[in-house]
Structure 1
Amino acid sequence: MACGLDPRALVAEVGLPSDCLDEPDLKVPARLVCHLLEVAAARGGEPALGLRMAQSRQLSNLGPLGLLVRDELTLGAVLEALVQHIHVHNEALAVRLEKTGNLVVIYEEIVGVGEQPVGQASELVVGVTFRILSFFLGAGWRPRLVCFSHRASATLRAHRAFFGEAVEFGHQFNGIVCNGADLDAPNPAADPVMARYSKRLLERELGPDSRFSERVHQLVVLLLPRGHCRVEVVARHLGVDRRTVARGLSAEGTSFSELVDELRDELLSRHLEEGRGPLGELSVLLGFSTPSAFSRWHRTRFGVSASQRREVRTDALRTGRP
């Protein structure tokens, strides 16, 4: 490894199988991968480790999904394909597009990893998306803004060299803002016949074990900070009605409200772990209309106020107690 670390030793330390370094299609727990990236960045003294990894990524690293996006007609079609099929490549990654006036926002969030910090993984994911965009728009293309929800490292030199000057931290989401006109960029190497073939391959990979709740969960994590996380909105994104969502989740032993509360638990724990932002801001990130609504939910769910919980967590970090 360029940082002077032994990758096989690190993989074994965090509990990942040793063959994950040799088998690119081997699926491994996202939580352990995020932990591996954080450990490697700290020990290697490389705060931009995720970006360094993104620099070497190609479409081929997306596996079968790379075959599909390579042959789509426009960049807009490429991004739509990523949104629709990213779970085949990475079940812990949720991607959503939102068009606002002349701008397009690409939201990317890592889900299902509990309190594990995801700063390095988020920079890797956003970096890879930037590489894909540059593949179609040219090496000189720059986004309007690149956003990260975690705190910035000591220096932004590597981030600005990679993305350009428009990089900001402490946002409500991870992702890229670009001009809407960029999505109309044609792909000169497009092959619609191969794109249809690749899409059929991806749909077969979903198999009979793909879970409806996983698709809902990915939408919830993207819609929650925007204040749009209602069952009817999720249903519209899935192309069904709210009763179909309720039936699908019930068949898998859960409900929409349970999924939302579980995700709020995970995101809140992560925010408290990282000491991010005042509680009023956290209430917005968790999809509550007012801080008082967040306070009522927290006290009902945990039996204490959010401020008390943060004080306990801060004290534990200061004293080193679990």
Structure 2
Amino acid sequence: MPYLLRSGCLANYAEVARSAGLNPHQLLANASLSRYALLDTDIRIPVEAVSQLLEASAAASGQIDFGLRMAESRQLADLGPLALAMREAPSLRMALDSMERYLRLHNEALSLHIDRSSGGLVTVRAEMLRAGDGGLRQSMELVVGAIHRALHCLLGRLHGVRLVPHRVYFTHAAPANPATHTRLFGTKPSFNQEFDGIMYRAEDLEVPLKTYDPSRVSEARRHLDSMLAERAESVTDNVRRLVACLLPQGKCSADEVARQLGIDRRTVHRKLRLSGRSYLAILQEVRTDLAMRYIANVERPLSEIAGLLGFTSLCVFSRWFAMRFGCSVSEWRGRRANPAQSTSAR
């Protein structure tokens, strides 16, 4: 089954597309998405189709920051149930925790991993499960931009308070002009990084929120937890999310995945076996997805990609890639640059 997300993710799509001279309804049709997705924010639509729509829109408009332009005018209400979870938090730090916990109600393919181990800093890593091979640049810029916009909206009009990230990270190459990035985040992001995400100073996230109402928290939590229970994740999805997060950090192993799931390694293997899957198969799938993302960025050295994918050397990675894709990295990049040539060669 494909991963789904709320059509609220397309908030402002039509406006940004028209401002770039595009026909939003035609592009939606090309991506096999109904125009009603722009009218009803709670329709469930395929993540892969949305990713294709954003990449196609960026290509057609020539605006490499198309996804980020959508994030610029995002409102908290666009997140639906996730907005309720964040509004009922007493601080920005707790709002981030709520976003991490309830994100599945908004996007089944997206996960957040919040790391507070760096003294005085909080890092939010965004990971997207498989969404096709058409690239994720626009989707990830929209995601990271929307996270920051959500926190900005929660701050509201608090006098003298402006949230500026300590650092912003993207795995893809830098645009020729990062003006939109600087305008939205208040700082220039770092590109060609090992993950997509954002880092804040811990003290900046302790700002108390006006929207917090202690009398409503329990009721809101019960409602959201019941919604979450209806969308319980499989062990396969949980393992995929952890592998996607841990692999680029060089921490990925069946033992570490089991530890983070709170069970032992043998139990992980048994549960995967019952669902017809295996840890090694999932590892290979995630490696394949990440390999396509990393290699699409021609500025990233292959030796670095090999390390991010958990290979001991470039030679080992090259052999694996040839077996997995049936061609060398340079041939794969050539086919991506010239799809017509790739089709005629089959």
TM-score w.r.t. structure 1 length? Answer: 0.90
Task: Answer yes or no: is the 8 Å Cα contact 2:85–2:102 preserved in 1.
Answer: no
CA distance in structure 2 between the partners assigned to 1:214 and 1:41 by the alignment: 29
Alignment-derived partner of residue 39 in structure 1: 56
Mapping for residues 1-322 of structure 1, pairs under 5 Å:
1-99=18-116, 100-137=118-155, 140-206=162-228, 207=230, 210-291=233-314, 293-295=316-318, 297-298=320-321, 301-302=323-324, 309-317=328-336, 320-322=340-342
CA distance 1:41–1:312, change in 2 (3 Å): closer
CA distance 1:321–1:78, change in 2 (3 Å): same
> How many equivalent pairs are there?
318
TM-score w.r.t. structure 2 length? Answer: 0.84
Q: Cα distance, 1:24 vs. partner? A: 0.9
Alignment-derived partner of residue 13 in structure 2: none
Percent identity of the aligned residues? 35
Letter in 2 for 1:312: E
Task: Answer yes or no: is the 8 Å Cα contact 1:74–1:187 preserved in 2.
Answer: yes
Write out per-residue CA displacement over residues 37-57 of structure 1, whole angstroms, 9 at most, x where no aligned residue: 111122223222212211221
Structure showing greater relative contact order (alpha-carbon pairs closer than 8 Å, 6 or more residues apart): 1
CA distance in structure 2 between the partners assigned to 1:256 and 1:203 by the alignment: 29
Write out per-residue CA displacement over residues 87-136 of structure 1, whole angstroms, 9 at most, x where no aligned residue: 22101212101121221111012221132211111111111111122234
CA distance in structure 1 between the partners assigned to 2:254 and 2:214 by the alignment: 35
Q: Determine helix, strand or coil for the equivalent of 1:115.
A: coil
The gaps in structure 1 that reach 5 residues or longer are none
Task: Answer yes or no: is the 8 Å Cα contact 2:55–2:134 preserved in 1.
Answer: no
Task: Answer yes or no: is the 8 Å Cα contact 1:144–1:166 preserved in 2.
Answer: no
Letter in 1 for 2:248: P
Letter in 2 for 1:229: C
Task: Answer yes or no: is the 8 Å Cα contact 1:114–1:267 preserved in 2.
Answer: no
Q: Determine helix, strand or coil for the equivalent of 1:109.
A: strand
Q: Determine helix, strand or coil for the equivalent of 1:94.
A: strand
The gaps in structure 2 that reach 5 residues or longer are 1-17
Write out per-residue CA displacement over residues 261-293 of structure 1, whole angstroms, 9 at most, x where no aligned residue: 111011112333443522211112213354455
CA distance in structure 1 between the partners assigned to 2:325 and 2:25 by the alignment: 44
Q: Cα distance, 1:201 vs. partner? A: 2.5
Write out per-residue CA displacement over residues 49-101 of structure 1, whole angstroms, 9 at most, x where no aligned residue: 21221122122111111101111122222111211221221012121011212
Q: Cα distance, 1:23 vs. partner? A: 1.7
CA distance 1:58–1:184, change in 2 (3 Å): same
**Cα RMSD, aligned residues only:** 2.3
Task: Answer yes or no: is the 8 Å Cα contact 1:94–1:219 preserved in 2.
Answer: no
CA distance in structure 2 between the partners assigned to 1:276 and 1:291 by the alignment: 16
Task: Answer yes or no: is the 8 Å Cα contact 1:273–1:313 preserved in 2.
Answer: no
Task: Answer yes or no: is the 8 Å Cα contact 1:103–1:177 preserved in 2.
Answer: yes
